[in-house]
Amino acid sequence: MRRPLLLTTMAAAALLAGCANLAPSFERPAPTLRSDWAAPTSATATAPADIPWRDFITDDRLRQAIQAALANNRDLRVAVLNVERARALYRIEAAAGQPQLEAAAGATRQRTAGSAGSTSTQLQVQLGLASYEIDLFNRLGNLSDAALASYFAVEENRHAAQISLVAELAQAWLTLAADQARLQLAQDTLASQQASYDLTRRSQALGGASGLTVLQAQTTVDAARGEVARYRAQLALDQNALELLVGQPLETGWLPAAGGAVQASLLPALPAGLPSELLQRRPDVRAAEQTLRAANADIGAARAALYPRIQLTAAAGTQSSSLAGLFGAGSAAWSIAPRISLPIFDGGAARANVQLSEAQQAITVAQYEKTLQTAFREVADALAVRGNLGEQLAAQQSLTEASARALALSEAVFRNGASSYLEVLDAQRALYAAQQALITLRVAEQANRVTLYRVLGGWVVG
């Protein structure tokens, strides 16, 4: 009869747990953002958050580099380990609200003092409930909820770290591709300028060109040599930055291919129509929301600390002076020790802790709103840039073609003796600058797609 009594007591304690929850009800703060920054997505469009990065990145070399980075990047590895740490902390908090059962066996042998002293032996086996707190005001439940929300926040931060790594590596890869194109342009320009300089020197030897013209041609050669050296050094820096992101030495097959690395077909276009609701799908926004949920639960735990706490210790088993009688009739033993504690005077520490939790929750609300506003600005900026890139590219392409024709005409006029070589130099510089700007804009268009993918919370599939 005593064992059912103990089990009944434990069951009643479990039912009493969580009778009251003093945490404020969670309400997601309404975003104070414009809703007209983008048209609604069509029914068939795919949201960026639903595009695996392998579908977004179409260049196989870049895919391989990203795959290696996801496996070896140290910052991402720390983010993954933080998730494991947060999961363990949650399991610890969740376990605190569960009954802790312990099985124990022991033996005591003692001799009493005196002339007629005797020796006695006591054997016992018992199953005990070790200091179980009846969570009447959900203190332990709220601590567990806070740990769970913190775990979810860390998990979302890991997703954000993955997305950022994919975007950052793609940006670094595109920068390397652009500098490769700039180096190739500088080398082609150097070869052209060297040929022009050699031709001018031969013309001077025949009396067809002045010494000034030769010196002017030499300045273009020296300038082109300087550009080649500069971009060779920049390529080394780009590769070092890319290697740090990948987390291991780069393989040749991961580097941008020569020639077509900055073409528009390198990355797919994003779908048209991006509703503002997508902002709340960003991992950093979801992480901020989970942090806010944890802050709400912390308020409940702090408030519960103002109320009485009931702890229960119980044990049931058998005891006997001999091993043979340990499980015999009449050997049963049990104990139950409830304990209630009520804070009376603590110098106001408990109430101050409630005020601290409420202040922290208000701070977390402001941080959530700031995260959402930052996300809005990032998307709005990326869309604003994208809206003008097409026109800029078209204008720059036209300017480059016009500069090439102007150079050809100036060279023809110079050969006919109708102008000085200074006009040819101006046309050469204008064409080189136009070609450089065209490379920059082509890469900027690709980088803008990567930026949009990141700021819209592009999902990373392992």
pLDDT tens digits, 181-200 = 999 999 999 998 888 888 88
What would the mean pLDDT of 336-343 be, rounded to a whole number?
81
pLDDT classification of 2: cutoffs 50, 70, 90: very low
Q: What is the pLDDT of residue 314?
A: 78
Q: What is the pLDDT of residue 58?
A: 78
Task: Read off φ and ψ for residue 58, nearest 5 degrees.
Answer: -100, -15
Position with higher pLDDT, 36 vs 74: 74
What letter represents residue 457's amino acid?
A: G
pLDDT classification of 48: cutoffs 50, 70, 90: low
Report the share of the chain in percent with pLDDT over 90: 36
- The residue assigned the tokens 């150079």 is 407
Q: What is the pLDDT of residue 268?
A: 52
Among 48-57, 103-112, 217-226, 227-236, which range has the highest average pLDDT? 227-236
What would the mean pLDDT of 411-439 be, rounded to a whole number?
87
Q: Please give the mean pLDDT across all residues of the chain.
A: 81
User: Which range, of 13-17, 224-228, 427-431, averages the lowest pLDDT?
Assistant: 13-17
* Of 371, 422, 339, 325, residue with least CA distance to 130: 339
Position with higher pLDDT, 320 vs 154: 154
pLDDT classification of 433: cutoffs 50, 70, 90: very high
- The residue assigned the tokens 């290696």 is 68
The structure tokens listed for 356 are: 């601290």
Residues in the chain: 462
Position with higher pLDDT, 173 vs 2: 173
pLDDT digits 0-9 by tens, 220-249: 899 999 999 999 999 999 999 999 999 999
Long-range contacts of 209-212 (CB under 8 A, 24+ apart): 209/421, 212/421
> What residues contact 161, with CB distance under 8 A and at least 6 apart?
75, 76, 79
- From CA 24, how far away is CA 365, in angstroms rounded? 13
The DSSP H or E segment spanning 153 is helix 139-205
Please count the CA atoms within 13 angstroms of the CA of 358 that sit on its side-chain side: 9
